[in-house]
Structure 1
Amino acid sequence: MGEFWPVPDVLEYLAGSWRVERSVLDLASGAEGQFSGTTFFGPLDGGGLLHRESGTFVWQGVPRPAERTLRFLPGSSPGSADVRFADGRPFHDLDLATGHHVADHPCSADLYRGEFTVRSADHWRTVWRVRGPAKDLALTTDYVREG
């Protein structure tokens, strides 16, 4: 088996509940944080998946509840999705047909570059690098299927 695990149908692959562990490193200051929680991908009216993430984010020793919601809409092929924020604004494209994808998301003057890697039927990872005048971050998230 190679380094990547191809995903013929990304929405089918993501559906369900995942355990989430994320590390956040501020490369400018050296500050570190961790998020631990769950992500659930459930059916979205009109097609696609609603991604709901919730858990605890610890930044410099201070824990806080954290959550976010994204929409994963059907892409141009079964291996792809159009990822949007909860309010419908575009976030990034996603194509896991080969098990690996790189996506960019400009945010004000900062650039978010995400690398998505599928390791197995039950494990995938995202690594976001955020660079710009406001941020210099590295966020690494591991998703492990629950159940």
Structure 2
Amino acid sequence: MDGFWPVGDVLTYLGGSWRVERTVRDLASGAEGRFTGTTVFAPADGGGLLHRESGTFVWQGVARPAERTLRFLPGGGPGTALVRFSDGRPFHDLDLTSGHWVADHPCSSDLYRGEFTVRDEDHWRSVWRVRGPAKDLVLTTGYARAA
């Protein structure tokens, strides 16, 4: 797996602030959007990390504030995590010990398939492909560690 950067401790790696740029493409309509902002991974009460993302999402020329919160809990080993929505529902597992991971999340009749790639100590990326009767999307997010 050339080009991947193995992560020995995923919670330590993710900790801190990241600049975020995301493109959203609706493959059915051809519409595109862009999110720019910041993600902060901070220690959470009860262990793990609280992931808080905030910024601006521009869709079809309209800019609006956007935010989301996730919880990254310790997984079965230091290179792994269990990702939960802010209300505690399971989202997906994450194993970056090889620097690359694919995770699935069924949502109603749609399937979200996420591919996570770590390039180096300061850059990683996720690509979510969403397919189903309600959605046909590609969400590509680049993360760069903030100084």
TM range (shorter): over 0.9
Superposition deviation, residue 2 in structure 1 = 3.2
Paired residue for 1:118? 118
How many aligned positions are there? Answer: 147
1:139 aligns with 2:139: yes
Partner of 1:90: 90
Secondary structure at 2:113 match in 1: strand
Q: 2:69 and 2:90 mapped to 1: Cα distance?
A: 13
**What does residue range 1-147 of structure 1 map to in structure 2 within 5 Å?**
2-147=2-147
Output the amino acid matched with 1:107: C
Structure 1 residues not aligned, in runs of 5+: none
Name the % identity.
80
SS in 2 for 1:30: coil
Query: d(CA) in 2 for partners of 1:68 and 1:60?
Result: 21
For residues 87 and 12 of structure 2, what CA distance do their matches in structure 1 show?
A: 23
**C-alpha distance in structure 2 between counterparts of 1:32 and 1:61, whole Å:** 10
TM-score w.r.t. the length of structure 1 is 0.99
Q: CA deviation at 1:46?
A: 1.3
Partner Cα distance (2:81, 2:22) in 1? 22
Unmatched segments (≥5 aa) in structure 2: none
Give me the whole-angstrom Cα distance separating, in 1, the residues matched to 2:2 and 2:24: 27
Q: Distance in 2 between matches of 1:119 and 1:30?
A: 29
Q: Secondary structure at the match of 2:134?
A: coil
